[in-house]
Amino acid sequence: MFEKVKEAINPYSNPAEKYDKAADFYHLIMGVWEIKANREAMKMADLKPGEIFLDLAAGTGWVFKRLLEKAEGLAVDFSWNMCRHCKNYGNVIQANALSLPFKDECFDVVFSSFLLDLLPLNKIQIAITEMKRVVKKGGRIVAVALSKEGRGIAKAARILYEIFYDFWPTIGGYRASSRPIYLQHEIKKAGLKIVENKLTKIPLFQFPMEICIAQKP
């Protein structure tokens, strides 16, 4: 019944407007949804001194700040207000993940947290292809997303999330729009090799989240 991935819902004709409005309180949302998975993903990313990373759709910079403790890098977000917050930690460029303003193969690691599960279905492969383009051969793409994988409580929580997905309210100009996707399938479809994969959960609601480390051949 719920095998098809739903389209992401956005309350604005310009998607960046949603995040411009939410940037000043986004850390409260992130505290519930994203921190646990992001901590695990950063550990799995295993950034090393001398590597150059790109934090894609960096938001207010919670992950970016911590990645900079391990290596050098840049952050990108398409929301000017997210960029304004993120600039407190390092170099930030306002740009769209679907058309990155970088040359081919210029990053050792691309970190993408809760981006792919927000994109329209026909844009997911475009975003992954751009990540693949800018990462070096042998480099790593670290992707985190709500997942359609999982059993038991995680599967039950995911099904409930999907049932009520169309009815989530817009609060303070922000609507939670992430929806579960088949992350491994999307990454493999782009011609990347998955070298590590982990299924985790949002602690409060038990929704399944997936972390994939993929390598560019």
- The pLDDT tens digits of the residues spanning 84-103 come to 999 999 999 999 999 999 99
Confidence category of residue 2, pLDDT binned at 50, 70, 90? low
Per-residue pLDDT tens over the stretch 152-164: 999 999 999 999 9
In a domain, 153, yes or no: yes
Per-residue pLDDT tens over the stretch 35-89: 999 999 999 999 999 999 999 999 999 999 999 999 999 999 999 999 999 999 9
Task: State yes or no: pLDDT of 172 exceeds 90.
Answer: no
In a domain, 1, yes or no: no
In a domain, 144, yes or no: yes
| Helices assigned H by DSSP within 3-52 | 15-22, 26-33, 35-45
Q: What is the pLDDT of residue 212?
A: 98
**Which residue range is the domain that position 158 belongs to?**
15-215
In a domain, 2, yes or no: no
Task: Record the tokens describing residue 62, joined without a space.
Answer: 């919670």
In a domain, 6, yes or no: no
d(CA 170, CA 10): 10
DSSP H or E run through 124: helix 124-134
In a domain, 191, yes or no: yes
Confidence category of residue 3, pLDDT binned at 50, 70, 90? confident
Number of domains within the chain? 1
In a domain, 5, yes or no: no
**What's the CATH code of the domain at 77?**
3.40.50.150
pTM of the model: 0.95
In a domain, 208, yes or no: yes
